[in-house]
Each structure stands twice: as structure tokens, then as C-alpha cells.
């Protein structure tokens, strides 16, 4: 194996300065040039890149894996790895790493930013006030007067891994009841840490998906991409009338056409989308729908999460390569 001081790490979709610093301190050369997908193979080979770090933009498919013999590690700064042919890479002897814990709380906070906004029509107010706040103040006040509180309501969580649990912790802090479904988990122990050193533990036993859908006033998805929709017409029909839901997981886990229909029927009051089936060009009917609160896939995009991601990747790279 090469001397590690000559090993090169290409962070093609960027990496935090904390990650760069940690890797450079360990003797690796870190390159943060953004190389276009079609030029990536040549760049890796010409520069003898050992570690390729990506987020969601760069794709690492079989052809790249086959044709870049210098690669030892593929790292994903984040959780989902649908842009990487993970099993194939492992078959070929590469290490594939990601950072499942680093962005959990960031996603949870974004979900609740959306929920609080939707509950009080902030997404609408913030559009309308600059346009008509001076001429139609009283009309807007009346239009957005029927807000709801989160405290005392039930949050349904589909998918109770790290991000689902982090979101449940925020919900408990907000005074909500939590019900959760996860096909791989019977129960989870949530430890909440408070500012003064106090801790509280909550044990959440998972229930059936149908029961979660029936009970939830607010619903959040934290599931991986999969073949079928997790929420389709059948699931919408099982929900309470007037539910508020959020998808900050993956585009394609909710049938967006069925979602629009559920909003039109009143089954879904309002919804938040951070991810879309057709990223990076979401359907116009979603972008224009006043019942939707929208963000451009920014769930993990906090300074704190990116710092944690960079440090976590650096730690894993150092432990693999020595």
C-alpha cells in the first residue's frame, strides 16, 4: 500500500473544513475540486485518488468502480446511499462508509420547522405579507387565524431508526405523544438530554403502520428509498382527516399525485416536502400548491451537521487506512 502521506482524498461534493483539517493532520491530501460526473473516471485515475467522498450529487456506479483501480474507499457524507452501487463496490473489495448519526438532529429540527410553520400557516403568511400585508392585513389575519398547536397532539413516525428517533425526541420536548412503526424494531429507548445535565428516558414500543396512520395528527417519514410507495392512496385513506405530514426522507416514498389529491379532498390539511420524486426539477403542481411547505433537500444542511459529517468520515478513513 502507498505511503499514506501520498494518499489523496477527493471530496467531490465538498466536505466541511473540520473534516479537511482532521484528514490533513493525519497526512492525507484533500482535494475539494468539483469534478463533473463524465470527467470523474479520468480525474480519479490521473490523480490516483484513494478515497472518493460524495454527498447526493455524484453517482458512483459499476463503471466507475470497475475503471478506477486506485479507489479503496467510497464515502457518503450523509445517510442514504442510493447514489452508490454499495453491494457491487463491496464485492470488488472497496470499503463503503457513510455517516448515519451525524445529521439526525438536523433533519429532526427541519421537520419541526415545517410542522410549526404549517400549523400556523407561516409558509403562506411569508408569501402573502410582503405582497398584500399593507392592503389586506385584516383579510390575511382572518385567513390564517385557525392555527393549531403541536402540544398535546400525536406525532406518527414511520421508520424509527436514528432520524426517526431524533425527531421523536423533539416531539416529546414539544409536549407531543409519539407513536411509531418500524418493521425491524419492537421498541426503542429514547434518552433526552437537557441544558442543565438532567436526562429523561422514554421507551417507545412500535405499533402497526395502520395504527400509526389512524392515530397521527402529524406524520413524518424516515424510511429508505424502496421499490413501492410507503404512502399511497390506500395509506392516505387510513389517515385522520386534516392530518399534517412531512417527508424529509427520500423522494419517491410518497406518491406525490396521491398527495395532491389528498390535499384537494381535505384528508391532508397541509404537508411539507424536503425531497421530491423528480429532483432537481420538482413537479410544478407541487411548487405552486399553497398547502405545501417546501425546502430544497436541506434536511442535513446545518453547519453543525456538516462538521459532524466531516469529522465522522475522517475518523472512519483513518481507522480503515491506518
Predicted confidence (pLDDT) per residue in 78-121, tens digit: 888 989 999 999 999 999 999 988 999 999 999 999 999 999 99
Neighbours of 307 (CB within 10 A): 15
pLDDT at 72: 97
C-alpha cell at 168: 421523536
Beta strand pairing status for 243-247 and 8-11?
unpaired
- Same domain (yes/no): 84, 189: no
Contact present, 167 and 216 (Cβ < 8 Å): no
Domain range spanning residue 195? 104-294
Instruction: For residue range 140-166, list pLDDT tens digits in order.
Output: 999 999 999 999 999 999 999 999 999
- Same domain (yes/no): 116, 222: yes
Active site residue 55: no
Total domains, the chain: 2
pTM of the model: 0.88
CA 226, CA 256: separation in Å to the nearest integer?
Answer: 15
- Same domain (yes/no): 148, 177: yes
Q: Alpha carbon 106 to chain centroid distance?
A: 8
- Same domain (yes/no): 115, 49: no
CATH number at residue 76: 3.40.50.720
Catalytic residue (one of 162, 222, 270, 297): 297
Give rounded-to-5 percent helix, strand, coil for the chain: 40, 20, 40
Active site residue 297: yes
pLDDT at 299: 94
- Same domain (yes/no): 68, 89: yes
- Same domain (yes/no): 85, 129: no
Phi, psi (degrees; rounded to nearest 5) at 72: -115, -30
- Same domain (yes/no): 222, 211: yes
Phi, psi (degrees; rounded to nearest 5) at 249: -100, -80
pLDDT at 4: 53
- Same domain (yes/no): 69, 170: no
Calculated CA dihedral for residues 124, 128, 134, 136, nearest 10 degrees: -80
- Same domain (yes/no): 264, 228: yes
Beta strand pairing status for 49-54 and 95-98?
unpaired
Residue 172's contacts (CB-CB under 8 Å, 6 or more residues apart) are 178, 190, 192, 202
- Same domain (yes/no): 204, 243: yes
Catalytic residue (one of 191, 205, 210, 279): 279
- Same domain (yes/no): 178, 247: yes
- Same domain (yes/no): 263, 277: yes
Active site residue 123: no
pLDDT at 225: 86
Digits of tens for pLDDT over the chain (322 positions)? 455 557 999 999 999 999 999 999 999 999 999 999 999 999 999 999 999 999 989 999 999 999 999 999 999 998 889 899 999 999 999 999 999 889 999 999 999 999 999 999 999 999 999 999 999 999 999 999 999 999 999 999 999 999 999 999 999 999 999 999 999 999 999 999 999 999 999 999 999 999 999 999 999 999 988 899 999 999 999 999 999 999 999 999 999 999 999 999 999 999 999 999 999 999 999 999 999 999 999 999 999 999 999 999 999 999 999 7
Catalytic residue (one of 250, 256, 270, 312): 250
Could you give the count of Cα atoms lying within 13 Å of 225 in the half-sphere of its Cβ? 12
Amino acid at each position: 500500500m502507498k505511503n499514506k502521506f501520498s494518499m489523496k482524498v477527493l471530496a467531490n461534493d465538498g466536505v466541511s473544513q473540520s473534516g479537511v483539517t482532521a484528514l490533513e493532520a493525519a497526512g492525507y491530501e484533500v482535494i475539494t475540486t468539483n469534478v463533473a460526473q463524465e470527467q470523474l473516471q479520468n480525474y480519479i485515475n490521473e490523480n490516483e485518488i484513494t478515497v472518493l467522498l460524495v454527498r447526493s450529487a455524484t453517482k458512483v456506479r459499476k463503471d466507475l468502480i470497475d475503471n478506477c483501480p486506485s479507489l479503496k474507499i467510497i464515502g457518503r457524507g450523509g445517510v442514504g446511499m442510493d447514489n452508490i452501487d454499495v453491494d457491487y463496490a463491496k464485492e470488488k473489495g472497496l470499503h463503503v462508509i457513510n455517516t448515519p448519526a451525524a445529521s439526525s438532529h438536523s433533519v429532526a429540527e427541519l421537520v419541526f420547522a415545517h410542522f410549526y410553520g404549517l400549523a400556523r400557516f407561516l409558509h403562506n403568511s411569508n408569501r402573502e405579507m410582503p405582497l398584500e400585508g399593507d392592503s389586506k392585513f385584516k383579510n390575511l389575519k382572518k385567513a390564517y387565524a385557525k392555527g393549531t398547536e403541536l402540544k398535546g397532539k400525536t406525532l406518527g413516525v414511520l421508520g424509527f431508526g436514528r432520524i426517526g428517533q431524533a425527531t421523536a425526541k423533539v416531539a416529546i420536548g414539544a409536549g407531543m405523544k409519539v407513536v411509531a412503526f418500524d418493521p425491524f424494531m419492537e421498541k426503542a429507548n429514547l434518552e433526552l438530554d437537557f441544558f442543565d445535565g438532567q436526562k429523561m428516558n422514554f421507551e417507545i414500543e412500535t405499533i402497526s403502520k395502520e395504527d400509526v396512520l389512524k392515530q397521527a395528527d402529524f406524520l413524518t417519514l424516515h424510511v429508505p428509498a424502496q421499490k413501492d410507495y410507503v404512502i399511497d392512496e390506500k395509506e392516505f385513506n387510513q389517515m385522520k382527516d386534516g392530518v399534517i405530514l412531512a417527508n424529509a426522507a427520500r423522494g419517491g416514498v410518497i406518491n406525490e399525485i396521491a398527495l395532491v389529491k389528498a390535499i384537494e379532498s381535505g384528508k391532508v390539511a397541509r404537508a411539507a416536502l424536503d425531497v421530491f420524486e423528480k429532483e432537481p426539477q420538482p413537479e410544478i403542481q407541487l411548487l405552486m400548491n399553497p398547502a405545501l411547505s417546501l425546502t430544497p433537500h436541506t434536511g442535513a444542511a446545518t453547519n453543525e451537521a456538516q462538521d459532524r459529517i466531516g469529522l465522522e468520515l475522517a475518523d472512519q478513513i483513518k481507522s480503515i487506512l491506518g
